[in-house]
Structure 1
Amino acid sequence: MSASPRTSFAITRSVCNALFLREAVARLSASRGAWAWIVLEPVLHVLFMLFIFTVLRARTIAGADATFWLLVGMVSFFTAQNVFQRSMGAIDANAALFAYRQVRPVDTVFVRFGLEVLLGLTVAAVLLLLAGLLGHASAPSDPLGALAAYVGLMLCGLGLGLILSAAGQLVQEVNNVASFLFRPLYFLSGVIFPLAVVPVQYRGWVFLNPFAHGLELLRASFFPIYHEAPEANFGYLYVFAVGSIFLGLALHVRFAERLRAQ
C-alpha cells in the first residue's frame, strides 16, 4: 500500500526545519566563540555607553534608569539589525540548495528571521535576568505594549530583509547602497539617546525610520515615567512592517526563477 503524498505545508515545514538546523549550526560555529559573541556584543556596547554616561554623571535618561534604558534599546535594535542584514545574504549562502525544487529562496529568509529572533530573545532573557539580579527593575510596566513594539520591530526587520534579499540579487549595487545607509541607522533610531531631544523641526525626518518608532514605544512600555517623543506610534510601525513584507513577498514571487538561477 503506497504512502499518501505529503501536503505542501508538510514539505515546507520539513524544508524550514532542515534549513533552521543548518543555519543554527553555521551561525553558532562560524568561528571560535561565535555563540559567546552573540551575548557579548550588546553587553560591550552597553558597558561602553554606561562608562560615557557615568563620566557625564547621568543616572537616568528621559526619566528612565540609564542602564536598563540602554540595555532594552541595544538588544532590541541589534536583533532587528541582524534580521535584515543576515537576510540580505540568505540567498547567496544557500544557493546550492536550490537544486532541490522543495527549497525556495524565500524559505531561507524566513528561516534566518526565525533564527535571529530566537537568538535575540534568548540574549534578551539572559541580560534582563542579570539586570534584575543587579537590582534593576526588569519587568515592563506595560507587557502587551512591549510585546507589540518588539513584534513590530522584528516584522520591520523581516520586511526589509525580504526586499533586500531579492533586490540585492537582481541589482548587485543595492547591497552596497543598503550597507552605506545602514551605518547611520544606529544613531537615527535613538539607540543611545532619547529622540525627544531632537529639535522638533527635524524630528519628522527622524521618524520616517520605523525602528525609531519601535524603540521609543518599547522603552515607553518598560518605563512608565519615560518621556518618549510624541511622534512615536504603532500605526506607522505596523503599516511599514506589513507594507514592506508584502512588497518583499511580491518580489520573491515575481522573480522566483531568477532568484533561483543567480
Structure 2
Amino acid sequence: MTERVRTPFSITFSVWNAMFLREALDRLFEARAAWLWLLVEPIIYISIHAFGLETFHVHKVGGMAINMWIIAGFIGFLLWRRTWTQVLHGIDCNKAFFAYRQVKPFDVAIVRAVLELFLMVPIAIIIVALAIASGHAATPDLLNPVWLPGDPLLVMLSMAGLWLIGLGLGMITSVGLHFVPELDHIFKLLYLPLYYISGALLPLSLYVPAPYQYFFVANPVVNGIELMRQGFLPTYHPLDGVSLAYLYAWALGLMLVGLALYKRFSRKLVMR
C-alpha cells in the first residue's frame, strides 16, 4: 500500500485550519464572556462619543447623521486596529508552534488576520442592525431616511483595504517587536491617540482647520474610514483628497515590506 504524498498546498491548508480553530477558541473563550466583550467594546465607545457630540449639538457631519457617522467610521477603525494588534503579537504568542517545521511566521499572521475579519463582519452587522432597530438612519432627514449602505461595494472595498493595512503593518511591527521588545510600550501609548487622529470618533472636518486637514488625509486609515462613510451614504462629503487608490497603494506597500521582512528574518523570528 503506497503512502499518499501531500502537496505543499494541502499541508499549508491543514496548518491554517488547525491554527484558525485554536486562535478562534482562544479569542472567544480565553476568559469569561470574552466573546461578549468583542461586541460590547465598540458599542460602549460609539454610545459615549455619540452622546458627547450630540450634547454639543453636533447632529451631522458632512450631511451624515452623527450616530451612523461614528458607527461607520469606528467599525473600519476597529477592524484595522484589531488586525494590527493581533498580527503584532502573533509571533510571541505562538512560539511553541514553530517547533514544527511546517509552521512559518506568515502562517500565524494570515490566520490571525483572517480570524479578525471573520469576527468583525458579524459584529459590524449586529451594530448596524441595532442602530437601525433603534431608529438611527444615515441621514438626519426624517422625511427621507437612509437605512442601508447606499454603496455596499465601496464599503467592502474600504474594509478590505483597512484590513490589508492592518495585516501589513502588523507584519512589519511584529518583526520590530521581536528584536526590540520595548516597542510594545510605545505601541500601547499610541492606541488612544489613534482613535482621534484617525477621525474614527471625532470629526476632523470640524475640529481641524482646513489648511491642516491634508496632514491627516496623508494617513491611509483616514482615507479608508472616510470612504466607508461615503459607502454608507453616497451624498456624504468626505475630507478633500481621500482616495481608494491611495488606500490600496499603502496596503500593497506595507504587505510587500512585511513579506520581505518575514523572508529576510525567517529563521531569527522562530528562534526562542
TM-score bracket for the superposition, by shorter chain length: over 0.9
Residue 200 of structure 1 is matched in structure 2 by 210
Q: How does 1:105-254 map to 2 (within 5 A)?
A: 105-135=105-135, 136=137, 137-197=146-206, 198-254=208-264
Whichever residue aligns with residue 65 of structure 2, its letter is D
Residue 143 of structure 2 is matched in structure 1 by none
Instruction: Tell me whether 1:86 sits opposite 2:72 in the alignment.
Output: no
Distance (Å, rounded) in 2 between the aligned partners of 1:111 and 1:158: 10
- 1:140, CA displacement in angstroms? 1.3
Q: Which stretch shifts more, 68-77 or 167-176?
A: 167-176
Q: Which runs of 5+ in 1 are unaligned?
A: none
Q: Which stretch shifts more, 16-25 or 195-204?
A: 195-204
Is residue 79–residue 162 contact of structure 2 (8 Å, CA) maintained in 1? no
- 1:210, CA displacement in angstroms? 1.0
Call closer, same or farther: CA 1:43–1:182 in 2, change over 3 Å.
Answer: closer
Is residue 220–residue 227 contact of structure 1 (8 Å, CA) maintained in 2? yes
Q: Which stretch shifts more, 179-188 or 88-97?
A: 179-188
User: With structure 1 as the length reference, what TM-score do the two structures score?
Assistant: 0.95
- 1:201, CA displacement in angstroms? 2.7
Residue 56 of structure 1 is matched in structure 2 by 56
Distance (Å, rounded) in 2 between the aligned partners of 1:118 and 1:229: 29
Distance (Å, rounded) in 1 between the aligned partners of 2:87 and 2:257: 15
Q: Which runs of 5+ in 2 are unaligned?
A: 138-145
Which SS does the other structure have where 2:183 is aligned? Answer: helix
Distance (Å, rounded) in 2 between the aligned partners of 1:184 and 1:46: 16
Distance (Å, rounded) in 2 between the aligned partners of 1:208 and 1:182: 19
Which SS does the other structure have where 2:270 is aligned? Answer: helix
Whichever residue aligns with residue 177 of structure 2, its letter is G
Aligned pairs, how many?
Answer: 262
Distance (Å, rounded) in 2 between the aligned partners of 1:179 and 1:32: 24
Distance (Å, rounded) in 2 between the aligned partners of 1:89 and 1:201: 38
Distance (Å, rounded) in 1 between the aligned partners of 2:171 and 2:105: 10
User: With structure 2 as the length reference, what TM-score do the two structures score?
Assistant: 0.91
CA RMSD of aligned residues (A): 1.5
